[in-house]
Structure 1
């Protein structure tokens, strides 16, 4: 099994949720307002986590990579422009999902599923590009003081942010992804943070996927 770093673990969760969101919207029953509201809660978590992840890359990771001078500047420029395209696609999906909540018809659900599929296409294209062009550069330097400084900044945040992150990462994850997470972050930390500070996720979002 290929070892996954935290970045790839997050990418796996993004891909998983985009796929199951599209599937759930295509299967939404006519006038199922409760289900539509639940899917919107799940989408809000996905989009919040994805936005936070890419905001951190824009402010911390890309400047670090530029400073190494081993990646063509045009590649890092592409990472930034791909983030913008992804945000636009996810904003369009958000609007379509909100329309389903307001009027949960099968037609609106299908339109929202199409918007999510487009967001998934744009997002996966970026994630694949990043994993191909940037991930190996960072993996070669994970033990350097410079990267450890970046990593420390990436880990900053409130316990509730970390709790939601860990709860979300594990919800429906493949066993190898969960194993990678628990080898990257001490398993007791993952368990406590997700169960205590991620309680809201377990109560309000996880049941959407059951």
Structure 2
């Protein structure tokens, strides 16, 4: 039995899940007193928070209003927006916990930060599943319509540094299946040029965190 069709949304969700798993694992393995490692993990979390926040701001600003205009249940859209706020709150708390372990490098603070990551992970996963199971089926009939194409155009208007960071992050550890899908959505040379030219800071500051 095949699963639901891939979408760009699901590819992004997979990257979010990947990083939360990476962070939890890395914090669990961190040695007591390793402040360099703790600071590196704080940078990686900050990058994830930036990408997830940007993704949800795009949905709140462009996708939900379009769906409201075509008659999608307003209560569902309100629930989506409320879940975005809950995730923002959870991410803010975890950011403080990551800053604490970055300052101390202690095993105790690493354990606390890992617990915080896991709490945030639950909040995020609850939303991702809700969106994939309830919202995406209501969006799918509108893909390819003029209304959706207008939304896609707005979402694609990103400064090169934002797009470059996004593609560098998205493709760092991406599965073969998701990479193949990405090529159908964005020409591979565009992804490579943006990531390698404008995503260099990600490759310098974040990608090495996962190779350590």
Q: Structure 2 length normalisation: TM-score?
A: 0.95
- In the alignment, the residues of structure 2 paired with residue 141 and residue 65 of structure 1 have an alpha-carbon distance, to the nearest angstrom, of 9
How many aligned residue pairs are there?
A: 209
2:114 — aligned with what?
A: 113
Deviation at 1:137, TM superposition (A): 2.0
Match of 1:96 in 2: 97
Q: CA deviation at 1:108?
A: 0.4
Stretches of 4+ moved more than 6 A in 1? none
The alignment partner of 1:134 has SS state of helix
Partner of 1:197: 198
User: CA offset at residue 149 of structure 1?
Assistant: 0.2
Equivalent of residue 46 in structure 1, options 41, 48, 52:
48
The 1-side partners of 2:193 and 2:140 are apart by 28
Kindly indicate whether the alpha-carbon contact (under 8 Å) linking 1:33 and 1:101 is maintained by their aligned counterparts in 2: yes
Question: 2:179 is matched with which residue?
Answer: 178
Work out whether 1:78 is the aligned partner of 2:79.
yes
Task: Give structure 2 stretches of 5+ with no counterpart.
Answer: none
Partner Cα separation in structure 2 for residue 54 and residue 172 of structure 1: 22
Alignment of 1:30-45 (within 5 A): 30-45=32-47
| Distance in 1 of aligned mates of 2:101 and 2:184 | 39
**In 2, Cα distance between equivalents of 1:175 and 1:200:** 24
**Residue number in structure 2 paired with 1:135:** 136
Shift of 1:6: 1.4
Stretch of structure 1 that moved more, 58-67 or 3-12: 3-12
* Shift of residue 3, structure 1, vs aligned partner: 3.9
Say which of 11, 14, 22 aligns to 1:12: 14
- Matched position secondary structure for 2:32: coil
Higher RCO (CA 8 Å, separation ≥ 6 residues): 1
Tell me by how many angstroms 1:206 deviates: 0.4
Conserved in 2, the CA contact under 8 Å of 1:3 and 1:180? no
| Contact 2:62 2:151 survives alignment (8 Å) | yes
Residues in 2 aligned to 1:155 and 1:174: alpha-carbon distance in whole angstroms: 23
The CA distance in 1 between the partners of 2:152 and 2:138, in whole Å, is: 14
RMSD (CA atoms): 1.1
